[in-house]
Amino acid sequence: MHKHKVLKLTLDKLKTMKNILIKFCCVFSLFAFYSCDNEDDLREESVIYVDEVHESEFDKWLYETFTVPYNMEIKWKWEDGEVDNNFHVTPPRKEKAEQFMKALHKIWIKPYEEVGGEEFIKTYVPKLIYLVGTPQYNDDGTMTLGLAEGGRKVTVFDVDAFDHLDLQGMAKAFHTMHHEFSHILHQKIHYPVAFKELSKGNYTGAWYNFSDIKANTLGFITPYGMSNDHEDFVEIVATILSTVQNSNMPIERVVPEKDQYGMVTGNLTQKVLSDFQMKLYMFGIGIVQNKDGSLTLQQDQAGPIGLSIMLKKIDIITEYYKTEWGIDLFELQGKIEIATNELILENSEE
């Protein structure tokens, strides 16, 4: 009795499966009949194709200008794997990407190549540059403008803010490139340990809480340089190379007079200084607005000490670049200034 029940259930299942198969065959036949009857659906060529990526004139220029001579890959179109997805960033506008890359070739690669040599730039230039239109905003309220990864890739953020007609704007943008390239170089050959010892104990992760003047008094060129000795080193290099205005031709300036100890006396005097010399002269000195709207020069008492530390750092850095890389940083600074002024003139005439 039990066996007959099992057999009956099995036969019922077979009948059900048979009905499903018949219905499937009918539907398939109707579909096949419709397809054969519709001549528009019949094509000699394959309906499967691969969409070719459009290569613009700008892409061709990038290939000929950077890839062929320097073995560099330039990416400006969006690629999800090239950025940290924890941040909301967007790709650059094509117009801004074109302006930035034209400037990168003219005022970054060519001056380095002229001073350091063709072999130097071909060997150490980053093999991948990835452009991002917006800054990368961090949880601590700061923003990232550049990243160097593994000595081969540099990501440049905020490209959409690039102004190819503004001297200071271009200097600011290429401060990032000089900063990141300096990282690549010191990762290849480390700078002397004596550099780190000059500010030992003053490096801090809370660098963003310090003003420019306070950072200066501690011997740092920018507050960000306080984050660690690597950032300290490259920020000085980047500041030297991006302070391009009047670096070749010092001009007469009205500055506060200093006594023999480097403290401001309250009197004004005239000095012939380049922009970078002016930056050092005003180290630890700022302009403060009083309640009545008037302006007063204010100097931190530790300003002269900070300047003394900075001058020692500059000596170590410039010697390192000459000895290890055969590059005179101030000669390179001058080449960058000339190239930048020429490029702005060229851009303004277009």
- pLDDT of residue 40 exceeding 70: no
The verdict on residue 279 lying in a domain is: no
This prediction's pTM: 0.79
What is the count of structural domains for the chain? 1
Tell me what percent of the residues of the chain surpass a pLDDT of 70. Answer: 84
The verdict on residue 253 lying in a domain is: no
Helix axis angle, 329-349 to 94-104, nearest 10°? 140
pLDDT at 42: 44
Please write the tens of the pLDDT for every residue from 45-94: 433 333 445 678 999 999 999 999 999 999 999 887 777 777 788 899 99
- The residue range of the domain holding 200 is 57-247+288-349
Identify the CATH number of the domain in which residue 183 sits: 3.40.390.70
The verdict on residue 224 lying in a domain is: yes
Tell me what percent of the residues of the chain surpass a pLDDT of 90. Answer: 62
Compare 248 and 74 and report the one with higher pLDDT.
74
H or E stretch at 269 = strand 264-273
The verdict on residue 252 lying in a domain is: no
Please write the tens of the pLDDT for every residue from 20-37: 444 444 433 433 333 334
Compare 248 and 109 and report the one with higher pLDDT.
109
Which DSSP string corresponds to 52-104? PPP--HHHHHHIIIIIHHH--EEE-S--GGGS-TTS---PPPHHHHHHHHHHH
**pLDDT-based confidence at 1, cuts 50/70/90?**
very low
> How many angstroms separate the CA atoms of 182 and 184, rounded?
5
Compare 6 and 335 and report the one with higher pLDDT.
335
The verdict on residue 39 lying in a domain is: no
The verdict on residue 334 lying in a domain is: yes
Q: Which of 333, 113, 325 is nearest to 241 (CA)?
A: 333
